[in-house]
Amino acid sequence: MTDHIHRQATAAAPVSSRVIALLALACGVAVGNVYFPQTIGPLAAAGLHVSPDAATSVVTATQFGYAAGIFLLVPLGDRFPHRPLLVTLLALTGLGLAVAAAAPGLPLLLDASALVGVTTVIAPLAGPLAAGLVPEGRRGVVGGTLLSGAIAGMLLSRAIGGTLGERLGWRAPYVLAALLSLTVAALLARTLPATAPSAGDRYPALLAEPLRLLRAEPPLRRSCLYQASVFAGFSAVWTGVALLLTGPVYGMGADAVGLLALVNAATMLVTPVAGRQVDRRGPDAVNLVCFLGVAVSAAVLACGGVGGAAGLTALVVGTLLLDVGMQSGMVANQVRVYALGAEFRSRLNTAYMTCAYLGGSLGSWLGARAYAAFAWPGVCALVAVLTAVALGRHLASLRSPTRRTGQTGRDEATRRTAGGFRRPAAPGSPAARGR
């Protein structure tokens, strides 16, 4: 108990903005490793003498690896100090990227991409770490700051990857990503504060815990469904838009995909605002607005298939709406999830992020097949269907008689009874064992 109190006191101590900024940078570099392959797929296909459809499997392998890494490695954030864990994973990511850069054929590139996906899970580890380093009332803002870093990595990696690939070949972005990962690992080793692990469970128990939490926590299941559905649509669009822009409708190069992503840099300015709205109004209100925005984006994106200036304008506006809706919804979902328990946030985030990236991986796969079968309109229809699933679930939740109106994410997570006592923890959960 004394050790637990010491950890809570440490978590509540002020943390410098320099540390938060470094964590945001680490999130950006790590997340960028997942997304820059989206822009260089056609270049890799030409360089390795495979079809463009086959080259899209690199994106799917990276995202499936990322989902596996979240499930297998992120629970270790509750078991080991964060600094050595983050540094080790980034160093392994750098080595995997170097192998990918030197791959002579598609099979080794797929294997290296899966390894990179598994080890570049810095963002889902950094989120719970930052949430424990700041007061509860600042978690939405800090979560939005880290997400802004991740968005910057997502956008810049696609822009730089596409431009660098066009000029120096598809291997050059992998070399740059490897150097960045190793550099950030060195910075984290020198700057991150020491943290104490919040759990002493064995590894099999840590792996089993996210599944138990999914069964025990309805807000967690709801957040997982929301993000998996919207992120699947997001991944489908960015897989399909690379084929659209480099295909006969537009006839552009891979750098055009990166420039389109860069236009969406405004998303970085929106997520901190979304974080403040979550702190003020609660996650549910923000989720509703995000779903409506994503639904509108699907209709706007459908106009992108006409080509020309009008089509490009529709792609810019549609992808911007989609990015803002997806990222702002992630802020809301994570605040709801983190409020469920301070002592096992990494395991909560494991369940949430695993579901999210499984949805994203499935979305990439479905997007490639929808484009092959129905061209760009098929991708947009897929986004509309996925959004309708999430929105329908959310509206059902808002109409639920057990829902308490006006609650914040913290109130929903606490779910007090009429007598003012906290709902008992699920049997076998970390909270139950700690009592």
What's the whole-number mean pLDDT along residues 267-286?
83
* Confidence class for position 309, pLDDT limits 50, 70, 90: very high
Question: Could you tell me the CATH number of the domain that includes residue 248?
Answer: 1.20.1250.20
CA-based end-to-end distance of the chain: 9
Q: Where are the alpha helices (DSSP H) in 36-121?
A: 37-48, 52-55, 57-73, 82-101, 106-119
- Here the tokens at position 30 are 């790590």
List pLDDT tens digits, range 198-215: 666 788 887 888 889 999
Query: Tell me, what's the pLDDT at 15?
Result: 61
Unique residue bearing structure tokens 């509703």 = 288
Identify whether 428 is part of a domain: no
Identify whether 260 is part of a domain: yes
User: How many H-runs (helices) and E-runs (strands) does the chain carry?
Assistant: 19, 0
Helix (H) or strand (E) holding 347: helix 345-399
In terms of residues, how long is the chain? 435
Judged against a pLDDT cut of 60, whether residue 117 lies above it is answered with yes
| Ranges 148-152, 174-178, 424-428: which has the least confidence | 424-428
* Confidence class for position 348, pLDDT limits 50, 70, 90: confident
Identify whether 6 is part of a domain: no
Query: Tell me, what's the pLDDT at 374?
Result: 94
What's the whole-number mean pLDDT along residues 400-414?
46
- Of residues 79 and 337, the one with the higher pLDDT is 337
Structural domain count of the chain:
1
Q: Within a 13 Å sphere around the CA of 373, how many CA atoms are in the beta-carbon half?
A: 11
Identify whether 99 is part of a domain: yes
Do 267 and 151 touch, CB atoms closer than 8 A?
yes
Q: What are phi and psi of 91, to 5 degrees?
A: -65, -40
Query: Tell me, what's the pLDDT at 402?
Result: 56
* Confidence class for position 400, pLDDT limits 50, 70, 90: confident
Distance, in Å, from the CA atom of 371 to the CA atom of 373, rounded to the nearest integer, reads 5
One DSSP character per residue, 320-343 reads HHHHHHHHHHHHHHHHHHHTT-GG
Identify whether 1 is part of a domain: no
What's the whole-number mean pLDDT along residues 111-116?
95
Query: Tell me, what's the pLDDT at 380?
Result: 97
For 126, 179, 230, 417, 423, the CA distances from 414, given in Å and listed in that order, are 24, 44, 26, 9, 7
* Confidence class for position 406, pLDDT limits 50, 70, 90: very low
Q: What is the DSSP letter of 305?
A: G
Query: Tell me, what's the pLDDT at 51?
Result: 82
Identify whether 341 is part of a domain: yes
The distance from CA 343 to its chain's CA centroid, rounded to whole angstroms, is 22
Identify whether 130 is part of a domain: yes
Identify whether 357 is part of a domain: yes
The answer to pTM > 0.75 is: no
Distance, in Å, from the CA atom of 171 to the CA atom of 167, rounded to the nearest integer, reads 11
- By residue range, what is the domain housing residue 298? 11-416
Other CB atoms within a 10 A radius of the CB of residue 397 amount to 17
